A and B are shown apart, each in its own frame.
Chain A
Amino acid sequence: MKSLRNLLALAAIAVAVATPPAFAAEEVNLYSARKEELIKPLLDRFTDATGIEVNLVTGKADALLKRLETEGRNTPADLLVTVDAGRLHRAVVADLLQPVESDVLAERIPSAYRHPENQWFGLSIRSRVMMYAKDRVDPSELSTYEDLADPKWKGRICIRSSSNIYNQSLVASLIAVHGEELTERWAEGLVANMARPPSGGDRDQIKAVAAGQCDVAVANTYYLGTMLTSSDPAQREAAAEVAVFWPNQDGRGAHVNISGAGVTKYARNRDNAVKLLEFLVSDSSQQWYAEANSEYPAVSGVPLSDTLQAWGHFRADDLNLAVLGRNNAAAVKLMDRAGWK
């Protein structure tokens, strides 16, 4: 029975260690699908400016949603941060967020980038576009996402797995325009044009273009941006080989998604959470997104970083982003049927 006694002692220690410290007077608690590296610096600035402590747990969006859901009305989380609109939509459907009335937020964030009832707000914009090999592709060959299914691209396209949320969102946006039937034909055409079975992440697709394995990659622009400014020379060299092409500029515009946040339904530090949201859309925070991770600011009129300026102005699809969340399951299914691994 000695083992049992030891066990109990250990358990007691574990509980003692795990018990959260007495709550500070002013704080706000975040569940964030944005990686620590890409949000902590802003949170530290917020604490410096307001004296409000920020506590952070990072993780995958759906897991954080599940945690929020199982913790129910006693959850310590005040703010949920995600890196795509689909998950924010899912949080709204699961009734995990609450509407926020804030003049600052309403004024600064364009309506396409926030929930119709202000349950979530876009904080930065991410565009998924074509990137081509400068030495092998004439940009006049490129035109639209739809065109990537054309047989002329056979064996020339690199794109990652359909398990990836950015691809799911892109296909969800195509469903919104063309319907499921046509989009499935398109996906079949795209699969037939792939240079290799999908694997790896967006940077891997860009590197494959640089190395000559394919001519065109579909990837988020900030991956190229962070490769260009990487401390790793190999990444910078690869990034220099490719150029950005903005698709569908004569039509609906390039596909965009957001990283955004919403105040949780049972937030205990609601006011602080709103303060933090307002801080995140201030000019200096918005500029930080561009400088640190080459994302586009959600607030218009904020000066862009050099990397973003070099890519020029583009027209963004103004589809309401909640649609991406609604079409997500349909997108996954049709990619399954089209054989997009």
Chain B
Amino acid sequence: MSAPDPWRAGVIAVATLLALPVLTVFSAVFLPVGEVWRHLVETVLADYVVNSLLLMLGVAGGVLSIGVTCAWLTANCHFPGRRLFEWALLLPLAIPAYIIAYTYTGMLDYPGPVQSALRDWFGWGYGDYWFPRIRSLGGAIAMLSLVLYPYVYLLSRAAFLEQSLLALEAGRMLGAGPWARLWRISLPAARPAIIAGLSLALMETLADYGTVQYFGVSTFTTGIFRTWYGLGDSGAAAQLAALMMLFVFALILAERWSRRQARYHAGARTRPLPRKVLTGWRAWLATVACAMPLLLGFVLPVGQLVVWASRTLEATLADPFPRLVLNTLGLAASAALLALLLSLFMAYGRRLRGGAAVTAAVRVAALGYAIPGTVIAVGVMIPFGWLDNTVAAWARDTLGVSTGLLLSGTLFALLFAYMVRFLAVSLQTVEAGLERVKPMMDESARTLGLTPGRVLARVHLPILRGSLLTAILLVFVDVMKELPATLILRPFDFNTLAVRAYELASDERLAEAAGPAIAIVLAGIVPVILLSRSIAQSRGSTTVH
């Protein structure tokens, strides 16, 4: 260990670079605490904390119950529609949370068609009847659960599919019934994957701004922007963001601690589990359980978007659509590939070298996912701006040339911000996959004379193919939906579908925004279908020997 170690140095270098924006924001904790904080503590801070906690708790319940149930059913049972649900349950992933919030508000709010029809039928007026208020904390929990459950579904389904028949048979021989086998073997064994999915969903929840802002729910995120935009105190806003990061860090540590020494490796060569054939009411119950999230999270909101778009077809078609679609897809694809390479590098470096420093570096680099995109963007702008101006000053003084800004306002800065924000998604997926590969396999391969790079390429990559495709898919869709960082960091005259949809929607022109929103969904569906197909195929080839 005395020679310089390229893996370790590389991982720490990349992690430091990616942690730079987060650390920039975090450094605000050293600013003097101003009078603004006293105001926040006296008035609204308690609201921010309580609402954020309730929101996370609610979304956790929502995504776990939907995600794990559907994953288990489609992985282990046969029932009508299973083959459709297998991939279709991923579709809500393509819908940005704030868009689904707009559509449900359009449908269910007081002036909307549902309540208007009720009033017409029964002759009610305002206050004569009770109807759940969509724009509320409960509404925000429902909206976020509907679009975020696919994270849990995707990752836990992968884990269920890879579970060994041997363990379950052992359970049966020891006298465990089907429920006991589910609760004491299947679920605990899938825990790393379920938790990985859950933490992605919760981090995204914490970072959400569009939905809670539209619903008037005061959370940490809305508080950060209120403090920055409204009170004009970007220092205090950064301190709030830092507080939120501490919160996320504590959550991550708590989860790691709760698993402590447990290891989760699947045996490599096992027969796939035979699917249990459900019949009668059980089969229909399974169908309904899988159809509900698909209906509520995709069919209804997209239906509403189509209705809106058809009203404004002319305006939609007049848009420079092809350009927007090309920009969006290009950006999402390059970010997804880049994130995959980085997370493979980091996850593998951690597996190979371990060590506290590498592990800490990897954790810090993944923190960005819980931080609102705008805050990340500011964290990117500050160091990039400093670097650009320093280089420009140096070039002017010594070379007499004007370089202008080299990094700020380029697609490179934007891609960098995406890495900071979304690396966690890719990394979690890759690590969850890698964790299921026994270290023994590494050792055997090394003993047979393969270099670490070869072990990765020849042993791990083929096994991990499903996880890698999942990682690409998740980042791709996330980047396509991403708004705040794209908005601030993009170059001149460069728009994406999300920017376009947001500009119209935030101007409260929902009908006009529906066109680009549908385009986001459509552009997202194609990769979702392609990738879920090839994930399924890769499973088939690695599990059947």
Q: Which residues of A contact B (CB under 8 A)?
A: 1-4, 6-7, 10-11, 13-15, 17-20, 29, 35-38, 55-64, 66-67, 70-76, 90, 161-163, 165, 168, 196-204, 207-208, 210-213, 223, 226, 230-233, 235, 238, 328-329, 332-333, 336-337, 341
Q: A37-B507, A67-B488 are in contact. Are A208 and B389 (CB under 8 A)?
A: no
Q: A4-B10, A70-B408 are in contact. Are A233 and B311 (CB under 8 A)?
A: yes
Cβ A90 vs Cβ B232 within 8 A? yes
Contact of B338 among A10, A202, A230, A238 (CB under 8 A): A10
Cβ A59 vs Cβ B412 within 8 A? no
Judged by a CB distance under 8 angstroms, whether B392 is at the interface is yes
Judged by a CB distance under 8 angstroms, whether B400 is at the interface is no
A60 to B503, CA, bound (A): 10
Cβ B230 vs Cβ A328 within 8 A? yes
A-B Cβ contacts below 8 A, count: 195
Cβ B342 vs Cβ A7 within 8 A? yes
Cβ B491 vs Cβ A18 within 8 A? yes
A-B contact pairs, 14 of them (CB 8 A): A11-B338, A18-B410, A18-B413, A20-B492, A35-B506, A58-B503, A60-B229, A70-B386, A71-B381, A74-B392, A90-B232, A199-B135, A200-B135, A332-B231
Minimum CB distance partner of B511 in chain A: A232
Minimum CB distance partner of B389 in chain A: A72
Judged by a CB distance under 8 angstroms, whether B495 is at the interface is yes
A35 to B507, CA, bound (A): 8
- CB neighbours (8 Å) of A90 from chain B are 232
Q: A37-B507, A74-B392, A332-B230 are in contact. Are A238 and B111 (CB under 8 A)?
A: yes
Cβ A14 vs Cβ B411 within 8 A? yes
Cβ B222 vs Cβ A15 within 8 A? no
- CB neighbours (8 Å) of B111 from chain A are 207-208, 210-211, 213, 238
- CB neighbours (8 Å) of B411 from chain A are 14, 17-18
A3 to B342, CA, bound (A): 8
Contact of B231 among A75, A202, A223, A329 (CB under 8 A): A329
What is the distance, in angstroms, from B5's C-beta to the closest C-beta of chain A? 13
- CB neighbours (8 Å) of B222 from chain A are 163
What band does the interface of chain B fall in when counting residues whose beta carbon is under 8 Å from A?
35 or more
Judged by a CB distance under 8 angstroms, whether B388 is at the interface is yes
- CB neighbours (8 Å) of A70 from chain B are 381-382, 384-386, 408
- CB neighbours (8 Å) of B404 from chain A are 74, 76
Judged by a CB distance under 8 angstroms, whether B504 is at the interface is yes
Q: Which residues of B contact A (CB under 8 A)?
A: 6, 10, 39, 43-44, 105, 109-111, 116, 125-126, 133, 135-136, 213-216, 218, 222, 225-226, 228-234, 308, 311-312, 314-315, 334, 337-338, 341-342, 344-345, 374, 377-378, 381-382, 384-386, 388-389, 392, 403-405, 408-415, 453, 457, 484, 487-493, 495, 499-500, 503-504, 506-509, 511-512
A35 to B116, CA, bound (A): 32
Query: A-B pairs with the 6 shortest C-beta distances?
Result: A199-B216, A70-B385, A211-B111, A18-B411, A18-B410, A55-B492
Contact of A328 among B39, B232, B503 (CB under 8 A): B232
- CB neighbours (8 Å) of A61 from chain B are 229
Cβ B511 vs Cβ A235 within 8 A? yes
Q: A29-B492, A35-B504, A57-B490 are in contact. List 20 more A-B contacts (CB 8 A).
A: A4-B10, A10-B341, A18-B411, A20-B491, A38-B507, A55-B492, A55-B493, A58-B499, A62-B229, A70-B381, A70-B385, A168-B230, A200-B105, A204-B508, A211-B110, A213-B126, A230-B511, A231-B312, A329-B233, A337-B43
- CB neighbours (8 Å) of A232 from chain B are 308, 311-312, 511
